[in-house]
Amino acid sequence: MKKCRIIGGKLKRRYIIAPDTSSTRPTSDIVKQSVFNVLVHRFCVNFEKTFVIDLFAGSGSLGIEAVSFGCKNVVFIDSNKKAIDCIKQNIQSLQIAPFSATICQSAEKVPDSIFLTFGENHSDILVFLDPPYAKKELLCQQIGRFFELFKSKNLLIVAESDEEYADATYVIRHGNTRVNILCTYENSACKTISAGS
């Protein structure tokens, strides 16, 4: 098993495990730190009032980071049973079960009703999308899906890819990684930063 570090919040410096599979690519510490800095300081995310979806969750690193920052409602979804088993171990070891749910299913097969039910009492929704870089069509489909599902909510999507999106509000660059942040409630011009800058 690989280990990943929690970089902020109340669980800072704790470690979680990641499944040792070729399909899992944990987000690096420097990229994760940049993402959460942007979410907290630019987008002013109040994690305590935000419903978080960690899709293609892998180790659950991003969703767990959100819990560390105060999130009380996060659902982890991955089609790989080893990944879901890892997430369950992490949830148990960190004692965050009251805030967490896991679903072992491919993203496109999760019914819309699941997301709508989890998110019905929240006006703020944050979605982490981190599929394998080769699955660009799947990533675009899921982005479109969540914009349609949560069009009446304050929606933020954090999509990790190897490409920049022209309609992204914010882009974080690190090596070949591009983290595109898209939202429904801010129409500012796209800004690009380099992770660690």
pLDDT beyond 50 at 120 = yes
Strands 74-78, 100-104: pairing kind = parallel
pLDDT at 131: 87
Structure tokens at 191: 């800004």
**What CATH number was assigned to the domain covering residues 2-194?**
3.40.50.150
pLDDT beyond 80 at 186 = no
Q: What is the mean pLDDT of residues 99-103?
A: 96
Give me the residue spans of the domains in the chain: 2-194
pLDDT beyond 60 at 191 = no
pLDDT in tens, 5-49: 999 999 999 999 988 765 566 778 899 999 999 999 999 999 999
pLDDT in tens, 130-161: 888 788 889 999 999 999 999 999 999 999 99
* Ramachandran bin of 26, using left for φ above 0, alpha for ψ from -120 to 50, beta for the remaining angles: beta
pTM for the whole thing? 0.91
Inter-residue contact 40 to 99 (CB < 8 Å): no
Cα distance between residue 28 and residue 10, in whole Å: 19
